[in-house]
Amino acid sequence: MKRTDIWITAALLAAAFMPDVAQAAQPAQGADARSYATDLAALYDEHQRVLAMREACVAAQPALRADMEGAYKNWQDRHALLVDDLENRFAALIKRASKDQAEFSRNYGKYQSEVLALREESKRALLAQDREKFSAECREFPAYLRDARSDIPAIFPAEYRNVRRAR
pLDDT tens per residue across span 127-165: 999 999 999 999 999 999 999 999 999 999 999 999 988
Query: Within a domain: residue 7?
Result: no
Determine the structural domain holding residue 72 and report its residue range.
37-165
Rounded alpha-carbon distances, angstroms, from residue 119 to 15, 23, 32, 91, 127: 19, 27, 28, 18, 12
Q: Span 25-45, mean pLDDT?
A: 69
For residue 7, pLDDT over 60 is answered with no
Query: Within a domain: residue 17?
Result: no
Query: Within a domain: residue 112?
Result: yes
Query: Within a domain: residue 18?
Result: no
CA–CA dist 28, 123 (Å, integer)? 35
The closest of 39, 15, 10, 13 to 25, measured between CA atoms, is: 15
**pTM greater than 0.95:** no
Query: Within a domain: residue 73?
Result: yes
pLDDT digits (tens, 9 = 90+) for 38-97: 899 899 999 999 999 999 999 999 999 999 999 999 999 999 999 999 999 989 988 988
Split into its structural domains, the chain has a count of 1
Please tell me the predicted confidence (pLDDT) of residue 22. Answer: 43
pLDDT class for 15, splitting at 50, 70, 90? low
Residues 65 and 58: beta-carbon distance below 8 Å: yes
Query: Within a domain: residue 54?
Result: yes
3-state helix, strand, coil in the chain (%, to 5): 80, 0, 20
